[in-house]
């Protein structure tokens, strides 16, 4: 997902999305370890989405999000 999509979400939605991404990351790690992972680029995409989401959460928490319009 893109940061603009994360910025449109409520804090509760962001928390829910973070849980989903963490679960996906966990499953991808197991698939990679067992040799079943076909789309290796998805690991990188999920990791970066988690970072984007956490950045947006921090911005919303500190009030910086209102400056970005």
Residue with the bigger pLDDT between 68 and 42: it is 42
pLDDT digits (tens, 9 = 90+) for 34-49: 999 999 999 999 999 9
Q: How far apart are CA 59 and CA 22, in angstroms?
A: 20
pLDDT digits (tens, 9 = 90+) for 44-63: 999 999 999 999 999 998 88
Domain count, the chain: 1
Phi, psi (deg, nearest 5) at residue 63? 90, 5
Residue 5 above 90 pLDDT? yes
Residues spanned by the domain of 17 = 3-67
Token pair in block for residue 42: 């998805």
What CATH number is associated with residue 14?
1.10.287.310
Phi, psi (deg, nearest 5) at residue 46? -65, -45
Token pair in block for residue 63: 């009030």
């Amino acid at each position: 997902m893109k940061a603009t999509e994360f910025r449109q979400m409520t804090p509760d939605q962001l928390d829910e999305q973070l849980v989903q991404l963490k679960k996906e990351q966990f499953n991808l790690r197991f698939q990679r370890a067992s040799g079943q992972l076909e789309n290796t680029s998805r690991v990188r995409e999920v990791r970066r989405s988690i970072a984007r989401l956490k950045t947006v959460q921090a911005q919303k928490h500190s009030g910086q999000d209102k400056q970005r319009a």
